[in-house]
Amino acid sequence: MNASTTASSMPATWSRRAVQATAALAASMAMTGPVLAQAQLDQPAPAFSAATADGKTVTLDSYKGKTVVLEWTNHECPYVKKHYGSGNIPALQKEATAQGVVWLQVISSAPGQQGNVDGPTAIKLNKDRGAAPTQVLLDPSGQIGKSYGAQTSPHLFIVNPQGVLVYKGGIDSIATAKVDDIAKADPYVKTALSELAAGKKVTHASTKPYGCSIKYGS
């Protein structure tokens, strides 16, 4: 094979392979969604400024000195319905806030996507479900969710009074939409909050979140 033959025949093969590889990569990205940053445990939690459902603006820094729970939610998700319909998350919210914890619901569904609501609707949903978060943060751009690497609803993060991320993951250990499984599960978030209140290090600081994928925009 001379040089001219090599130059004329091999690039065509390479070109086909390159197209196939690009298509495979695109398909993979479509299935997995955007690559998100991951908030790091034992590091300062990502700062944010957010509009609330009742028309205010809050920052993470404004809660310095208090334990903060961030709970990503989507009221149409079966996994969220499991924990709200059973009263599990509302009970956790009330127990935590009674002890001075700040509980922030975060809605990162993009406009037109499942779970996206305006402020008055978010407030009514919580009233109807007996929910009691400190505030509901509206994040339609997905900026806050992506800065934390929030993947599912629910997905929970806990920030200690010093502003350091000390927990991220699932609400509990059984990844189903079955209400009966709540009583059988290891309640990761409840346990983490109890350990923090007792001045202990969180035993299971990073667990696998489960639920519906967060409906970020493009």
How many domains does the chain divide into? 2
Same domain? For 120 and 166 the reply is yes
Distance CA 132, CA 106 (A): 13
Among 36, 32, 30, which residue's Cα sits nearest to residue 145?
Answer: 36
Within a domain: 218: no
Same domain? For 172 and 72 the reply is yes
Within a domain: 157: yes
Q: Specify the CATH number for the domain of residue 151.
A: 3.40.30.10
Taking only the tens place, the pLDDT of each residue in 108-163 is 999 999 999 999 999 999 999 999 999 999 999 999 999 999 999 999 999 999 99
pLDDT band at 8 (very low <50, low <70, confident <90, very high): very low
Same domain? For 74 and 126 the reply is yes
Same domain? For 141 and 160 the reply is yes
Same domain? For 103 and 159 the reply is yes
Same domain? For 195 and 99 the reply is yes
Backbone dihedral angles phi then psi of residue 149, each to the nearest 5 degrees = 80, 30
Residue numbers of the domain that contains 137: 34-213
- Tell me the sheet residues that pair with 57: 51
Predicted local distance difference test score (pLDDT) of residue 37: 65
Cα R_g (the chain), whole angstroms: 21
Same domain? For 190 and 118 the reply is yes
Same domain? For 22 and 101 the reply is no
Q: Helix, strand or coil for residue 112? A: coil
Same domain? For 105 and 199 the reply is yes
Indicate left, alpha or beta for 100 from its phi (over 0: left) and psi (-120 to 50: alpha): left
Within a domain: 90: yes
Same domain? For 26 and 10 the reply is yes
Same domain? For 20 and 116 the reply is no
Taking only the tens place, the pLDDT of each residue in 43-101 is 999 999 999 999 999 999 999 999 999 999 999 999 999 999 999 999 999 999 999 99
Can you read off the two tokens belonging to residue 18? 């390159």
Residue 119: CB atoms within 10 A of its CB come to 16
- DSSP secondary-structure letter at 87? S
> Cβ distance 142 to 108 under 8 Å?
yes
